[in-house]
Amino acid sequence: MRTLSTDGPDGESDEGTDDESNGGSEENATAAASSGFQAELAASVRAVDVLLLLLAPGALLAVFALPEPVRRGLAFSYTDPTLATAFASHFVHLDASHLAGNAVGYAVLAAVGYALAVLSAHRRFFLTALVTFLFAFPVALSALNLAVPRDAISFGFSGINMALAGLLPLLLGVYARERFVPSAPIRALPAAFFPLVGWIALLALPRSTDGVGLAGIATAIAGVLLGVLYASSAGIRLHRSTLGRIRDIASRPGYGDLFVAGAVLAVGYPVVGFPADPTGEGSVVNLYVHLLGFCLAFIGPFALLASGAFEE
Amino acid sequence: MINAHRTLAYALLLVAAGSLAFATGATVLDGPADTFAEERLAVQPADGPNGNYAYLNDDDEIVVDVSATNPNLSPDFEGVNAGALASADGVFTITYTADEYAHVWIDHEGESVTFLANGESIEGETNNVTLAPNESVGIGLSIDTRGEVAGTQLGADEFSINATIANPETADIEGDSGSSTGGGPTTMMSAPDANRREFVASDIGYGDTVRFGSDGMELDGGDVTLDGLDLEGVGNERVELHAAGSRDPPENGSALDAPTTPRSVAYLALEYDFEPDAVDAMTVRFSMDRDRLNATDTDPADVTFYRQTDAGEWNEKPVAVVDDETVRLQGLPTDRVHFRATTEKFSTFAVAERAPRFDVTDAVVEPTAIDPGDEATVRATVNNGGGAASEETVTLTAGGAPIANETVALAPNETATIELATTVEAAGNYELAVDGTSAGTLLVGDAGSDAGGDANEAVEAGSSDDTGAATGDTAPDDVSADDDPTEEPGSIDLAELGGLLALLVLAVAAGALVRRIPR
């Protein structure tokens, strides 16, 4: 069997062998690497970070404890917008299932994002983005919703969750560069963003055989092509060593698992956030705010990241 | 009505005189007669077999005697069956002998016996018949012994014959009302049930007309009754018919079914013992309660009559409404509407009401996509396939909720194109339909996040009362979303999130498994 090598920063490499007798030593190495990952992750987590991460769920629960008329009064009405409701509405949930969905979504996205950030030495970047998402995004997203006048009220935390999902490709990029591919250029990250936007279009836009129904597919194809073009212009080439790195990522317990989990979330969360049928009984899921959150959360932090503002 | 073991005897004596008073005229009578009204009315037993029930007594008073004491009848005759409904026409005749017109009627208080003229009651002034100079009318009897006990002797009753001078303007209308002279065929009718009659006519001359009175045989309770059957051009010396009425189709029969979808009211089944071509035509006399017609808002002109062919098809037969003047002159009950239907063949018949049937076809919405607040127009073709003209409201619905309507007046078999315009304020996809016929989907666009959603449930019902012509100008109605603002939660589905988490676990588990594969 051909031996593949990696050029990770720690200089570690897994060397494959045809010798079955080496299986036991490989398992031992895997267990050791896994415990090393856990130890490094535990050492990187700080109590103040955890408190900050728990700020959002605490706020969600506190608001949910308010009487429903009060919560409904905190919803953002497009016909009667106020600064207070523009901010508070993102922490308002009218029923428990709505709250539970957003709380679980936040827990997964924030946990994976934080782990990727601290293990890629981008803790400050992540926490800055999180604080921005929690305190600035609510007002920004509400304000942008006013661009489409309609008699409706908006509420719920999913816009901010989608911001965390939009941040995920950036965190995966810096994590990959930190752990697997030191030469990967940060400026190439939009090569992941465009296909994801195309993927969202494919999920959210109605599909049918007429012209309007082809918009989603067309946007998805355009997104993929833009991603390929962007990656090509950034000098990324798909060659055997890249495939080898992917295999290397998968073969590294802990670190590889975290990357895979992040990648699955980056691709899978839009499926949850952009359902094909967003209508419910007397309500319509605000896909507009989901898309805004996702895109703004990528574009802004990417600009700062590409400028080197968060090099640690 | 003859030779029954359980019998009633019945005798009637004429003792009262009429009240007519005018100049003496010439008499045209042959033979002795009882006279009234200063001898202007002459009463004689009829010439036919039923004339034996009447005779002049020693005082030349007319006697109607339906009992064993009648010398003209067979010694075996015992009387009328108990619990029977029987009739006999042509018992005696009344002839007007003066030179003007007269309204003639009989006053009689007994309930068991009804005097008939032309199959209808002649009792009471309102039921009078008009006689021209020297004109006669045959008087028959309807005897109802239901509720009487066998062997009862009803004894002698009195009746009086009355007359007044007729109004010259109306008297000549009734030119044929007295055509029966009592010398025609002998008819018998029995009523085994309220909705069944058995008719027998004998001594019929070739080509004669036989008139059966059915004494209000029920077709649909008392609301719809068969009042008589007139057979024209009868070729047999004797005919017998059995009639049965019902609200529902007769047993082994099918319900009324015709392309114009009339509503059946009642059915009349006839059984007869003659060849169909032995009778040229039959007139069915039936009537309907006026209150019932009013209650169902039915125009008498929309009452119709169907005959079922041997092949099972229903053919509409001509029906005429008896006009009010004729009803008055013939003394028919004025609280009922009287009809005459004619048929050449006999089988099962149906009394029905013509009904409108509006069908909407080819409903199309244009344009199929609009912006919120814009107007869309639905064009629909409406056809009245029923048998009655009507004015009906056609309704446009969005997702089942009415949003516009238009009233259309159509004659039978008339088709019209209508336009229903509506303005839609809320974005979404609306399934439009006109009276249940799909007009397609209207897409109301919105740059907002709810575009493409199914907004049918959010449509608020609205209606208009505008009435226009068939191609009228319906005022647009607004379609609006619910008064409450639409909720736009930023949410995700818990089940889908659970699926994502499961995928996450699978991916990590797959990575762990891959690492265990020996290289």
Q: What is the distance of C-alpha B277 from the center of its chain?
A: 27
Contacts of A272 in chain B (CB under 8 A): 492-493, 496-497, 499-500
Of A156, A268, A281, the CB nearest to B500: A268
Query: DSSP state, B412?
Result: T
- What is the residue-averaged pLDDT of chain B? 76
The residue of A76, A142, A279, A288 whose CB has the most chain B CBs within 10 angstroms, and thus the best one to mutate to test that interface, is A279
**A227-231, B9-13, B117-121: which is most confident:** B117-121
- Which residue has better confidence, B112 or A90? A90
Closest CA to B349 of B388, B327, B318: B318
Domains of chain A: 2-184+236-306 (1.20.1540.10)
Under the banding of pLDDT at 50, 70 and 90, the label for residue A62 is: very high
Per the CB < 8 A criterion, the answer to whether B132 and B170 are in contact is no
Q: What is the token pair recorded at B439?
A: 């007009």
Check pLDDT > 50 for residue B480. Answer: no
Q: What is the token pair recorded at B196?
A: 């069944």
pLDDT of residue A21: 41
Q: What is the token pair recorded at B151?
A: 């062997």
Helix/strand/coil (H/E/C) assignment for every residue in A139-187: HHHHHHHCCCCCCEEEECCHHHHHHHHHHHHHHHHHHHHHHCCCCCCHH
Which tens digits make up the pLDDT trace of B164-215?
Answer: 776 544 433 333 333 333 456 777 788 888 899 888 888 888 888 888 888 8
pLDDT of residue B157: 61
How large is the average pLDDT for residues B137-157? 70
Q: How far is A307 from chain B (nearest CA, A)?
A: 32
Which residues, in sequence order, are CB contacts of B357 under 8 Å at separation 6+?
A: B260, B261, B384, B385, B386
pLDDT of residue B477: 41
Which tens digits make up the pLDDT trace of B389-431?
Answer: 888 889 999 888 888 888 899 988 889 999 998 888 888 888 8
Which tens digits make up the pLDDT trace of A109-131?
Answer: 999 999 999 998 889 999 999 99
Which residues, in sequence order, are CB contacts of A272 under 8 Å at separation 6+?
A: A105, B492, B493, B496, B497, B499, B500
Check pLDDT > 60 for residue B466. Answer: no
Taking an 8 Å cut-off on Cβ atoms, the answer to whether B449 and A289 are in contact is yes
Closest CA to B430 of B415, B452, B405, B404: B452
Of B452, B486, B507, the CB nearest to A260: B507
pLDDT of residue B349: 92
pLDDT of residue B287: 93
**φ and ψ of B511, to 5 deg:** -60, -45
pLDDT of residue A311: 66
Percentage of residues in chain A with pLDDT exceeding 70? 78
Which residues, in sequence order, are CB contacts of B212 under 8 Å at separation 6+?
A: B119, B187, B189, B197, B199, B201, B228, B229, B230, B231, B241
pLDDT of residue A114: 94
Residue in chain A closest to B483 (alpha carbons) equals A151
- Which residue has better confidence, A1 or A150? A150
Which tens digits make up the pLDDT trace of A230-283?
Answer: 777 766 665 556 666 666 666 677 888 888 889 898 888 888 888 877 776 667
Check pLDDT > 50 for residue B63. Answer: yes
Which tens digits make up the pLDDT trace of B337-370?
Answer: 999 999 988 888 999 988 888 889 889 888 888 8
Q: How far is B503 from chain A (nearest CA, A)?
A: 8
Taking an 8 Å cut-off on Cβ atoms, the answer to whether A18 and B454 are in contact is no
Which residues, in sequence order, are CB contacts of B495 under 8 Å at separation 6+?
A: none
In this structure, of A253-267, B27-41, B218-232, B357-371, the range with the lowest mean pLDDT score is: B27-41
Check pLDDT > 80 for residue A35. Answer: no
Closest CA to B236 of B177, B286, B276, B282: B276
Which tens digits make up the pLDDT trace of B283-334?
Answer: 999 999 999 888 888 889 889 999 988 888 898 888 999 888 888 777 788 8
Per the confidence metrics, is the pTM higher than 0.80?
no
In this structure, of A38-42, A243-247, B274-278, the range with the lowest mean pLDDT score is: A243-247
Distance separating alpha carbons of residues A84 and A73, to the nearest angstrom: 11
In this structure, of A41-55, A224-238, B45-59, the range with the lowest mean pLDDT score is: A224-238
Helix (H) or strand (E) segment spanning residue A293: helix A287-306
Check pLDDT > 60 for residue B5. Answer: no
Distance separating alpha carbons of residues A195 and A219, to the nearest angstrom: 9
Check pLDDT > 60 for residue A174. Answer: yes
pLDDT of residue B455: 46
Per the CB < 8 A criterion, the answer to whether B287 and B227 are in contact is yes
3-class DSSP state of B79: coil
In this structure, of A81-95, A109-123, A200-214, B79-93, the range with the lowest mean pLDDT score is: A200-214
Check pLDDT > 70 for residue B456. Answer: no
pLDDT of residue A88: 93
Distance separating alpha carbons of residues B499 and B503, to the nearest angstrom: 6
Which tens digits make up the pLDDT trace of B429-440?
Answer: 888 999 888 888
Match 């720690």 to its residue by tokens: A10
In this structure, of A92-106, A133-147, B72-86, B108-122, the range with the lowest mean pLDDT score is: B72-86
Per the CB < 8 A criterion, the answer to whether B107 and B152 are in contact is no
Q: How far is A23 from chain B (nearest CA, A)?
A: 6
pLDDT of residue A61: 93
Contacts of B373 in chain A (CB under 8 A): none
Check pLDDT > 60 for residue B10. Answer: no
pLDDT of residue A34: 63
Which residues, in sequence order, are CB contacts of B456 under 8 Å at separation 6+?
A: B398, B399, B400, B401, B428, B429, B430, B431
Closest CA to B365 of B404, B393, B414: B404
Contacts of B519 in chain A (CB under 8 A): 1, 16-18
